[in-house]
Structure 1
Amino acid sequence: MKLFNEKIFNPYWVVGFVDGEGCFSVGVYKNQTLRLGYQVQLEFSITQHKRDHDLLLQFIEFFGCGYVASDGPLKFKYLVRDLSDLNRVIIPFFQSYPLRTVKQLDFNSFASVATMMNDKKHLTEQGLLDIQQIKGCMNRNRIFESPNK
């Protein structure tokens, strides 16, 4: 079974586009209705100016999941937050077609949190702490060694 519709986009083009415009993020939000008082939410997104709204809609067709939502007056986002869609489509796609930039490190962290959630570790105090630590080292918070060292 194909995880994506190759008639919409070439998968290598998608990888390049996501390398430049995509984001893999882990959110940890207060939620007093949960036992630990926190909720973990994974999100894969691609943000574009509103003039490229139709392009974002094609990602829904390509991946067969997700949705497009407004992200302010001038932007829209293609979003996938459903853990089953992330596990079934998004993570396997980027495992088969790896990213080419340092964004691959964020994807690796994202996928490891998904595995922890599949194993219900996010429902334990230690698991939640581990996820918060991973989250704290992703995206703009990632620290790189200087190449001159």
Structure 2
Amino acid sequence: MELLNPFWVTGFVDGEGCFSIQFVENKKYKLGLEVRPSFSIGQSKKSKGMMGKVAFFFCQGSQNIRSDKGLLKYEINHILSTIIPHFLKYPLQSNKKRIF
């Protein structure tokens, strides 16, 4: 599979990506909360090939298709080893940079 240009990936994420944090109650943690950062991209099912290339680029994550809406969602929940290093090396240019 053709490897995507890392600068292109950053630009694609600038326009289409989403960074989020979820807080989940979990008694195993000192404050009783587990922090779950994640990264995702949502596209039409027509973009399945491109989303596969993005998944291959980051070498992890999962793709889920919501058949009711014809949407494909690529998501990575363990962002420390791949996502953060990528965007430190190839920084986002939009306001999304502040969120990251």
TM-score (norm 1): 0.59
In the alignment, the residues of structure 1 paired with residue 5 and residue 87 of structure 2 have an alpha-carbon distance, to the nearest angstrom, of 13
Paired residues, number = 98
1:59 to 51, 54, 57: 54
* Residues 103-135 of structure 1, C-alpha deviations (whole Å, 9 max, x = no match): 00111xxxxxxxxxxxxxxxxxxxxxxxxxxxx
Matched with 2:19 is: 24
**Between Structure 1 and Structure 2, whose CA radius of gyration is higher?**
1
In the alignment, the residues of structure 2 paired with residue 76 and residue 102 of structure 1 have an alpha-carbon distance, to the nearest angstrom, of 24
Q: Which protein is richer in helix relative to its size? A: 1
Q: CA deviation at 1:37?
A: 3.6
Q: List aligned pairs for 1:69-88, cutoff 5 A.
A: 69-71=64-66, 73=68, 74-82=70-78, 86-88=79-81
Matched with 2:45 is: 50
- Coordinate RMSD, CA, aligned: 1.9
The alignment-based identity, stated in percent, is: 38
4+ residue stretches of structure 1 with deviation over 4 A?
A: none
What SS does the aligned partner of 1:101 have? coil
Matched with 2:90 is: 97
Q: Which has the higher contact order (CA 8 A, sep 6+)?
A: 2
Q: CA deviation at 1:71?
A: 4.2
Matched with 1:140 is: none
